Amino acid sequence: MTIILMQKRDILLKYLREGRSQREIARETGIDRKTVRKYIKAFELKMHQIRQSNQEANLEKLIQELVEAP
């Protein structure tokens, strides 16, 4: 299932801002839990890379980068 970019953004915001679990997000959005986990892991990997390179992370900017079309 291909999810649209706004859905991806919503997943990340629910996880980060609202503290929802991956299971809750999957239930609320109707998106497979494995897909939810995939996008959260991608976000966490990007955060780790930023921390490793000693760049300051702007959470909103990072989320935007992750949900923009390639």
Size of the chain, expressed as the number of residues it contains: 70
Structure tokens at 26: 């999957």
Question: What whole-number distance in Å separates Cα of residue 6 and Cα of residue 32?
Answer: 16
Whole-structure pTM over 0.75, yes or no?
no
> CB-hemisphere CA count at 13 Å for 12?
22
Domain boundaries, the chain: 5-67
* Number of neighbours of residue 63 by Cβ within 10 angstroms: 19
34: its two tokens: 């494995």
Show pLDDT as tens, one digit a residue, over the chain (70 residues): 456 888 888 999 999 999 999 999 999 999 999 999 999 999 899 888 777 765 555 667 777 777 776 5
Residue 68: closest CA among 3, 6, 2, 1? 6
